[in-house]
Amino acid sequence: VEASIPEPQRKAWLAHQTSGFKDKDGFETEVVRHVETTLARSMYNCDEQAAYSACSLAFRDRLILEWNRTQQRQTFADSKRVYYLSLEFLMGRALDNAMLNIGQKDVAKAGLAELGFRIEDVIEQEHDAALGNGGLGRLAACFLDSLASLNYSAWGYGLRYRYGIFKQEIIDGYQVEVPDYWLDFNPWEFPRHDVTVDIQFYGHVTKRTDDNGKTIATWEGGEIVKAVAYDVPIPGYATPSTNNLRLWSSKAASGEFDFQKFNSGDYENSVADQQRAETISAVLYPNDNLDRGKELRLKQQYFWVAASLYDIVRRFKKSRRAWKEFPDQVAIQLNDTHPTLAVVELQRILVDLEGLDWEEAWNIVTNTFGYTNHTVLPEALEKWSVPLFQHLLPRHLQLIYDINLFFLQSVERKFPKDREMLARVSIIEESQPKMVRMAHLAIVGSHKVNGVAELHSDLIKTTIFKDFVEVFGPDKFTNVTNGITPRRWLHQANPRLSELISSKTGSQNFLKDLTELAKIEHYKDDKAFRKEWAEIKYANKVRLAKHIKKTTGVDVNPSALFDVQVKRIHEYKRQQMNIFGVIHRYLTLKSLSPEERKKFQPRVSIFGGKAAPGYWMAKQIIHLINAVGAVVNNDKDIGDLLKVIFLEDYNVSKAEMIIPASDLSEHISTAGTEASGTSNMKFVLNGGLIIGTCDGANIEITREIGEQNIFLFGNLAEDVEDIRHNHTYGSYTVDPDLVKVFEAIEKGTFGEPNDFMGMISAVRDHGDFYLVSDDFHSYIETQELVDKAYRDQEGWITKSIESVARMGFFSSDRCINEYAEGIWNIEPLAVKDQ
Ligand code: GLS
């Protein structure tokens, strides 16, 4: 294309392509142009929403130019690319991130001010892109930021849900779900109506033998749905590299609607096909750490995986390389088992469509894929019923049986006559009905399997995947401890802290190499530094207190200890233990004289998080938190000594406000249940301390920051099984302090006791699977240690500074480099030869 542009125009065009605006005037000109042309409004009629839209469009223009150039350079370099397949990308807001990554937030701030807007208000107009449930989806978003920032050639592939995770409203103390229609105006996506793929479902398979005696399978009939690509540019930080996130949207394959039906008067059914097709990408399943086995979910998975693989294979074929080079050009990472069908689909493409031999194809497949496991919870391990598979994807089921046959034959050779081993590792579970075990398929189809924190990676090797370690040897299994992007979780969320740090480290380089944070430890005794450190935390708490006042009407004192637990509501994460602890504190305070009470450390207990709509117990937990708040917050005896707040609709943008405002955050899962956790890293990076169990990444955080800087408590993972066994078969008594908490609830202190009996009886009558009672005493004791430590403000500030200084390890940049080296075998593309 360039060659056909006359030289003067080409030069002008190239000059235009330099990233960023020349100055604030250049930025303003673009904003005004977008208001008046793209949005067709006059500047006299430009509100904050329009300013947001125009500002986003102006930045998007810069991004897309860099995006184009990055894609050209990557194509030209023709080196290996990684494809990150994830059903969830919890991106949050894009504008602030784009401005910061391009390095022009200052320009935008000045320009917007001249146009009469505060940049904070403009940023606030953006609707979160909430295409995920929790940690797993946010991890994928952090990875995209790191991949671009480190100049890796990488694409994300996901689904463009019309409805992301629901919006949570709290009405009378109960969670109410409201649909999240977020696509009204989304300047950050580019529809590619020319990039479409036809995806087949249902139908049947016919087999014939060709002239060479080879069996040829053909998948015929069924229905076709069209996948349409939507591209989202992903800017790297302080680099021109701009990668792509491609999200697929489903459409009816046969145009708008059925004209025949329409003409014959069947108006309603004429659009039925279209609606049915569009249902596939309509909604994100709102479950975290839970598999529900619904047909539509399997349809989503195949739709997305098949479209993505078609795209990847098409790109590879353009290079005209031999098939055996595929794994040298392509690495595909399976984010959990959700995209595991990609293993089967690639085998199908190679064998059925491209005519490769089984062995050769399977070699290519297994060298291409890597699989990340994100949980050991049995209820989250995906299984699909064989009859459902047979109906929806008949050819894939045959291929799975063949993959399993060859796999089991190899196991048999290694472990002759061990029928139990065969049954345990088989991809097919011999249940009624038979089930396809997706994790087994993912392991068999990948060359590397990784967990997401050291403890978790050890646990998968000794529990759920133990047999596979024997089959494949230990080298196939590895650990890559999760990380978070310091751009969003420090620079964007906590600009003042980021600035203070850069004033001491000498540059913003720590945002590219987080280990440079170590330099601030030299200043931990510097008076002025400490003072500013504390002032920043206080200012962040004031901002959160204002939000609390605005959204709940409750006044909280910013000088109180802010104790925060924000994450999905789940029994294993034990928000119930936290609220029982709060009740215990309340009862203790009530039992004291006003004089004695004054000795207590004032606290604000802050909760936030969504419950899956069908998760009854999680909803009960939310209700109890709100019920306790309603009583405690209005108790004159208590005043500022204790407030209990439930923040509605926890999401990425709220996290950016809440996390920098915490003194203490809670990561208190039953040991061995939280694979990693990532908010633990975000809180510490923002100078908050942690109370937590020896679980997930808490353990490595402790190792990095030092035991004196974290409040650990509770039973260890290695003891959990025995304790559970004792609950069932031995003597079992509930912790006496917890008994008092239950009595208070049952007396009706917090409203109708029956509303909360599920939570109580889970502990008292149903074996206390999550060890709430076993850990309660050490939890309460450790909270007392926290109070004591917090009263020593100087000591607390030292802990806070030391912790931040030692968090370098937890950057998602480190994490992505480990994947690149140990799993994908790719190197960054130096920007100059990109
Ligand atoms: C999760 C785990 O529960 C988290 O501990 C982990 O940090 C996250 C990312 O690895 O993955 N698994 C899951 O299904 N949802 C998660 O958030």
- For residues 753 and 645, state if they share a domain: yes
| Residue 544 is assigned to a structural domain of this protein | no
Asked if 809 and 435 touch (Cβ cutoff 8 Å), the reply is: no
Which residue among 109, 512, 682, 764 is the active-site one? Answer: 682
Calculate the dihedral angle through the C-alpha atoms of 27, 29, 35, 38, rounding to the nearest 10 degrees.
Answer: -90
Q: Does residue 35 lie in a domain region?
A: no
571 and 681 share one domain: yes
Is position 135 within any domain? no
pLDDT digit string, tens, across residues 434-460? 999 999 999 999 999 999 999 999 999
Tell me the CA–centroid distance for residue 135 and ligand 1, in Å: 5
- Of 479, 501, 517, the last residue of a domain is 479
**For the chain, how many structural domains are there in total?**
2
Name the closest-CA residue to atom 12, ligand 1: 374
Q: How far is the CA of 276 from the centre of ligand 1 (A)?
A: 31
For residue 739, the tally of other CB atoms under 10 A from its CB is: 15
Residues 347 and 463 in one domain: yes
Of the listed ranges 136-145, 269-278, 493-502, 732-741, the least confidently predicted one is: 269-278
Helix (H, G, I), strand (E, B) or coil at 711: strand
pLDDT in tens, 252-293: 997 655 667 777 777 777 788 889 999 999 999 999 999 999
Q: How far apart are CA 25 and CA 32, in angstroms?
A: 10
Which has the higher per-residue pLDDT, 658 or 3?
A: 658
Query: Based on the domain organization, do 564 and 475 belong to the same domain?
Result: no
Q: State pLDDT tens for residues 684-712.
A: 999 999 999 999 999 999 999 999 999 99
Q: Is the pLDDT of residue 2 over 70?
A: no
Query: Which of 3-7, 230-234, 250-254, 383-387 is least confident?
Result: 3-7
Q: How far, in Å, from the CA of 289 to the mean position of ligand 1?
A: 7
Verify that 440 and 568 share a domain, yes or no.
no
Residue 397, domain member (yes or no): yes
CA distance 661 to 547: 11
Mean pLDDT of the chain: 96
Q: Which of 461, 567, 654, 806 is catalytic?
A: 567
pLDDT digits (tens, 9 = 90+) for 777-808: 999 999 999 999 999 999 999 999 999 999 99
Assess if residue 633 is contained within a domain: yes
In a domain, 164, yes or no: no
> Are both 586 and 683 inside the same structural domain?
yes
How much distance in Å is there from the Cα of 529 to the middle of ligand 1?
36
Structural domain boundaries, residue 591: 560-808
ipTM, interface predicted TM-score of the complex: 0.99
Of 292, 449, 452, 700, best ligand 1 pocket probe by most atoms within 8 Å of the beta carbon: 452
CATH number of the domain that 326 lies in?
3.40.50.2000
Based on the fold, state whether residues 692 and 804 are members of the same structural domain: yes
Q: Whose CA is closest to 237, among 139, 100, 107?
A: 100
Amino acid, res. 768? D
Query: In this structure, how many other beta carbons lie within 10 angstroms of the beta carbon of residue 101?
Result: 28
Domain termination residue (choose one: 443, 463, 479): 479
To the query of whether residue 567 is one of the catalytic residues in this protein, the response is: yes
Ligand 1 binding residues, C-beta < 6 A: 134-136, 139, 288-289, 374-375, 380, 452, 482, 674-678, 696
Spacing, Cα 675 to ligand 1 middle (Å): 6
| Model confidence, pTM | 0.97
366 and 457 belong to one structural domain: yes
132 pLDDT more than 90: yes
Tell which one of 89, 90, 133, 136 to mutate to probe ligand 1, the residue whose CB is within 8 A of the most ligand atoms. Answer: 136
**Do 668 and 788 have their domain in common?**
yes
Question: Do 458 and 564 fall into the same domain?
Answer: no
Higher pLDDT, 830 or 462: 462
Structure-token pair, residue 518: 């170590």
Contact 484/682 with Cβ under 8 angstroms? yes
Q: Which helix (H) or strand (E) holds 276?
A: helix 272-279
Active site residue 461: no
Whether the pLDDT of residue 220 is over 70: the answer is yes
With respect to residue 291, please indicate whether it lies within any of the assigned structural domains.
no
For residue 1, what pLDDT band results from cuts at 50, 70 and 90?
very low
For 791, residues 6+ apart whose C-beta sits below 8 A from its C-beta are 601
**Residue that is last in its domain, among 458, 479, 500:** 479
Closest-lying ligand 1 atom to the alpha carbon of residue 289: 14
Q: Which amino acid is at 468?
A: F
Atom of ligand 1 nearest to the CA of 696: 5
320 counts as catalytic: no
Does residue 638 lie within any of the structural domains? yes
Residues 576 and 695 occupy one common structural domain: yes
| Lookup: tokens for 684 | 């510490």
Which residue has the CA at smallest separation from atom 17 of ligand 1?
135
Question: Which of 89, 143, 285, 289 is the best mutation target for the ligand 1 pocket, counting ligand atoms within 8 Å of the beta carbon and taking the most?
Answer: 289
Q: What is the mean pLDDT of residues 355-363?
A: 98
What per-residue confidence (pLDDT) applies to 833?
A: 43
Q: Choosing from 60, 568, 585, 806, which is the catalytic residue?
A: 568
Structural contact between residues 675 and 289, judged by C-beta atoms closer than 8 angstroms? no
Provide, rounded to the nearest whole percent, the portion of the chain with pLDDT above 70.
97
Residues 448 and 573 in one domain: no
